[in-house]
A and B are shown apart, each in its own frame.
Chain A
Amino acid sequence: DVKVTQSSRYLVKRTGEKVFLECVQDMDHENMFWYRQDPGLGLRLIYFSYDVKMKEKGDIPEGYSVSREKKERFSLILESASTNQTSMYLCASSIHRGRETQYFGPGTRLLVL
């Protein structure tokens, strides 16, 4: 079974703090994705990565950055957290380009005060 894990299930941070969300997959997948999920807006893609040290912007990259130093790990960074970044963050992975089925982690619910 594919396993995607996220470092925290719940996180509370203050405005202006730097926040790191970690995601690890154990199936040697090439592709990794970060989404945020908000009521009424569905899943929105923040950033994705096809390979180590490679990243591409998704639909809503503003206020976020990412890092992929190892194939199994994809980090989402909020450089200076703001209250409008309070959300559910979901990480996903898929095998490689052309195989689109994505497998999701359990999510991190982030509250920015």
Chain B
Amino acid sequence: GQQLNQSPQSMFIQEGEDVSMNCTSSSIFNTWLWYKQDPGEGPVLLIALYKAGELTSNGRLTAQFGITRKDSFLNISASIPSDVGIYFCAGPNTGANSKLTFGKGITLSVRP
């Protein structure tokens, strides 16, 4: 089946640094979604991308839909302590069944 790959599993950065994460697949996706999950909470949608090459920002977050449609990138600029959490990418399964494939997530830690 379809898989979304996110690595590394964990990232450790200093407050104020920028960080970039990517999500890759061997399959083509027509939509890319980025979620953030705070500790003990449910995932919250950060950014949705619907078109190859699309670049979308949400505050300090910027995400891009890769031109090959097999990858997507999420950048966080000037990180702050509340950026800690798990960042998931997701994309719809093939076929019109509304199910999503999720990456395993990247746990981000921010050192003050």
Interchain nearest-CB distance for B81 vs A (Å): 21
Interface size on A, residues (CB 8 A): 27
Find the B residue at minimum CB distance from A109.
B40
In whole angstroms, what is the CA distance A90 to B105 when docked? 15
Interchain nearest-CB distance for A30 vs B (Å): 9
Per-position contact with A for B19-34: 1 when CB-CB < 8 Å, else 0? 0000000000001010
Interchain nearest-CB distance for B65 vs A (Å): 14
Query: Size range of the interface on B?
Result: 20 to 34
B88 within 8 A of A: yes
Q: Which of A41, A43, A99, A105 contacts B98 (CB 8 A)?
A: A99
In whole angstroms, what is the CA distance A43 to B99 when docked? 12
B84 within 8 A of A: no
Interface contact B45-A98, CB-CB below 8 Å: no
B59 within 8 A of A: no
Interface contact A98-B40, CB-CB below 8 Å: no
- Known contacts being A42-B104, A50-B98, A98-B98, is A104 close to B44, with CB within 8 Å? yes
A103 within 8 A of B: yes
Interchain nearest-CB distance for B23 vs A (Å): 13
In whole angstroms, what is the CA distance A50 to B48 when docked? 22
Q: Which chain B residues border A31 with CB–CB below 8 Å?
A: 98
In whole angstroms, what is the CA distance A4 to B42 when docked? 10
Interface contact A100-B100, CB-CB below 8 Å: yes
B103 within 8 A of A: yes
A112 within 8 A of B: no
B87 within 8 A of A: no
Which residues of A85-113 are within 8 A (CB) of B?
Answer: 90, 92, 94, 96-107, 109
In whole angstroms, what is the CA distance A98 to B40 when docked? 30
Q: Which chain A residues border B105 with CB–CB below 8 Å?
A: 42
B-side interface residues toward A, CB under 8 Å? 31, 33, 35, 40-45, 48, 88, 90-92, 96-100, 102-105
6 A-B residue contacts at CB 8 Å?
A96-B98, A100-B33, A100-B99, A100-B100, A101-B45, A109-B40
